[in-house]
Amino acid sequence: MKSIPITLIEGDGIGPEIASVMKKVAQATQLSLVFEPALAGQAALEAYAELLPDRTLKQIKQNKVALKGPLTTPVGKGFRSINVLLRKTLKLFANVRPVRSIPQISPYQGVDLVIMRENTEDLYAGIEHEIAPGVVESIKVITRVASTRIAQYAFEYAMKNGRKRVTSIHKANIMKLSDGLFLECARKVSKAYPKIQYDELIVDNACMQLVSKPQQFDVLLLENLYGDIVSDLAAGLVGGLGLVPGANIGKKCAIFESVHGSAPDIAGQGKANPTAMILTFAMMLEYLGKGKVAKQVEAAVFKTLANKRFRTPDLGGRASTEELGEAVVRAL
């Protein structure tokens, strides 16, 4: 069997710990995967005096698939988000985050939705400047090309994965031109998919309904900023970011990432929850056409977490990072 090369960016803080556990789970699947290490962010800055070395970008482009742990981003100062830089540089236009309830753990049971977030523009384009002392302007960029592209991806995803409904989330009642254009594109695309129900919700109403009855939702289609906020809100419905996988998809390559923070306060203490990293690995397997094995990994994770003995402190348990990982390996 031909080996599949995967670029692995372990990340900062707890990243190396959860990546180590993920690699043991990967080995237990008996698939021919080769993890090729690469650096980005703080570790790359220390090693190469660059935040995103050309060698890392070249490796991702060559392998076409990467798996990434959390990278630290300074708040209000310092360097810009490397996550955003990776997405823009590699044109990873779709941020995909499945959110599913885990039995006996998630606050809300029966949740099974997918956040489909446009990944390249909106306020995250980072176009801002000071127009006068004490007055800063940020520019929101919405284009027909990017809006149509993410809408098409959302509907194609729905068709391929047996989803029934796509809901566009917006604020077009206030931002009539920018969000209006996003909706116009989604409506046009929806006409080509008559078997998929299409509807729209204003973002504040959508947030209220998500915490009232999240089970009603299927695929949520959002611009970049709304998608960032709503995806974290949705993660909270099922137990937090430590339980949710994520992916950034482009036409030529994809980066799969555990979307939680680097948690430097618990790094090296064996307290980190590796669930998101393991489920992200499973999501990557699905992308690689290894759907059967991906389902086995997910089932092993769910089976393991059903036992309180193997839950990490963030889930109310006492298990270490390694203990949870070893239990998943045994379940496989």
- Which entry of 61, 140, 171, 303 is annotated as an active-site residue? 171
Per-residue pLDDT band for 1 (boundaries 50, 70, 90) equals low
- Which entry of 58, 164, 176, 204 is annotated as an active-site residue? 204
101 in a structural domain = no
Which domain CATH number covers 147?
A: 3.40.718.10
Q: What is the C-alpha to C-alpha distance for residues 250 and 229, in angstroms, rounded to an integer?
A: 21
- Annotation marks residue 2 as catalytic: no
Q: What is the C-alpha to C-alpha distance for residues 312 and 129, in angstroms, rounded to an integer?
A: 43
pLDDT for res 279? 98
| Burial tier of 292 (Cβ tally within 10 Å: 0-12, 13-18, 19+) | exposed
Half-sphere exposure of 174 (CA within 13 A, CB side): 5
Q: Which domain holds residue 166?
A: 112-237
Count Cβ atoms below 10 Å from residue 29 Cβ, excluding itself.
Answer: 19
- Among 138-152, 174-188, 261-275, the minimum mean pLDDT is found in 261-275
274 has pLDDT over 80: yes
State the Cα angle at 313 between 96 and 285, rounded to 5°: 30
Tell me how many domains the chain contains: 2
261 and 308 co-located in one domain: yes
- Annotation marks residue 124 as catalytic: yes
Contact 9, 69 (CB under 8 A): yes
35 has pLDDT over 50: yes
- Annotation marks residue 232 as catalytic: yes
- Annotation marks residue 204 as catalytic: yes
| Eight-class DSSP state of 90 | T
Per-residue pLDDT band for 161 (boundaries 50, 70, 90) equals very high
Q: What is the C-alpha to C-alpha distance for residues 23 and 314, in angstroms, rounded to an integer?
A: 22
71 and 153 co-located in one domain: no
180 in a structural domain = yes
Reported as a single tens digit per residue, the pLDDT across 204-234 is 999 999 999 999 999 999 999 999 999 999 9
Domain boundary among 188, 204, 237: 237
- Annotation marks residue 171 as catalytic: yes
